[in-house]
Amino acid sequence: MEHDIASAPDPVLTRRRALGTAAALLAGGAMWPASARAAVRRDHDCTDEYDAEFEDALAAADEEFGEEGIRRLAQGPPQKYAMPLRRSFRVSAAYGVRGDWLAGHHTGIDLAVPQGTPVYSVGAGVVLVAGWSGAYGNAVTVRMPDDHYSLVAHLSRVSVRVGAEVRAGTLLGKSGATGRATGPHLHLEIRARRGYGSDIDPVKYLAGRGVQLL
């Protein structure tokens, strides 16, 4: 598989730096891995990854569908995990790269693939968001039984509905460049908690569950 990887302070930049620091603390203060310091190719990646309306919608759906659905899934067989793609890809932006994101770093990993590539759920869970999601474009967010949240973004097409229960390998939609994106790719994000800034390394998360993304 192919894997490329002024004199007065500006109040907006100052606010972004402060938010970036808070996000790092929320994420557990983890050290930046070497891969996170890799150069970012700007042709197929995300230009911004925060949208207040999306976060509000996610919170509302989680309260409505999340707890009950996760309880049902937890009573079933042991959960499996899967690759989000079944074809070769190139890493166009690694997780944790510092930049002009509101968190101060890239909150997921960007996998460059052609427009329309099928995208699959990395784990079982309950669909909380399925559709237009502001900066994320068309996106799907799944709450998994371990109370982590997986998010796939910039899709050209969404194939599931809010409230649905999915398994690892369920088709979620097709890749695209919707929202704030510079070209077709899949943005995969894993959050340890629901809120923005609780992101963790998707590669390490999946590796700990038997799935080698890279």
Per residue in 50-104, pLDDT (tens digit) is 788 899 999 999 999 988 888 888 787 888 999 999 999 999 999 999 877 776 7
pLDDT digits (tens, 9 = 90+) for 25-55: 333 333 333 333 333 445 567 766 678 889 9
Tell me the average pLDDT of the chain.
Answer: 82
Please give the domain boundaries of the chain with CATH numbers for all domains: 11-207 (2.70.70.10)
Residue 73: predicted pLDDT:
85
**Length, in residues, of the chain:** 214
Residue 8: predicted pLDDT:
38
Give 37's contacts (C-beta < 8 A, 6+ positions apart). 97, 98
Residue 79: predicted pLDDT:
87
- pLDDT over 50 (residue 128): yes
Q: Is 51 helix (H, G, I), strand (E, B) or coil?
A: coil
> What does the alpha-carbon distance between residue 89 and residue 10 come to, in Å, rounded to a whole number?
38
> What does the alpha-carbon distance between residue 212 and residue 214 come to, in Å, rounded to a whole number?
5
| Sign of the Cα pseudo-torsion (38, 45, 95, 22, in order) | positive
pTM summary value: 0.78
Cα 114-156-109 angle, rounded to 5 deg: 65
Residue 43: predicted pLDDT:
59
Give the alpha-carbon dihedral of 161, 162, 166, 169, to 10 degrees.
60
Please compute the mean of the pLDDT values over residues 192-212 and round it to a whole number. Answer: 96
- pLDDT over 80 (residue 7): no
pLDDT digits (tens, 9 = 90+) for 131-146: 999 989 999 999 999 9
Q: Cβ atoms within 10 A of the Cβ of 23, count?
A: 21
Cβ-count burial of 61 within 10 angstroms (0-12 exposed, 13-18 middle, 19+ buried)?
buried
Residue 85: predicted pLDDT:
98
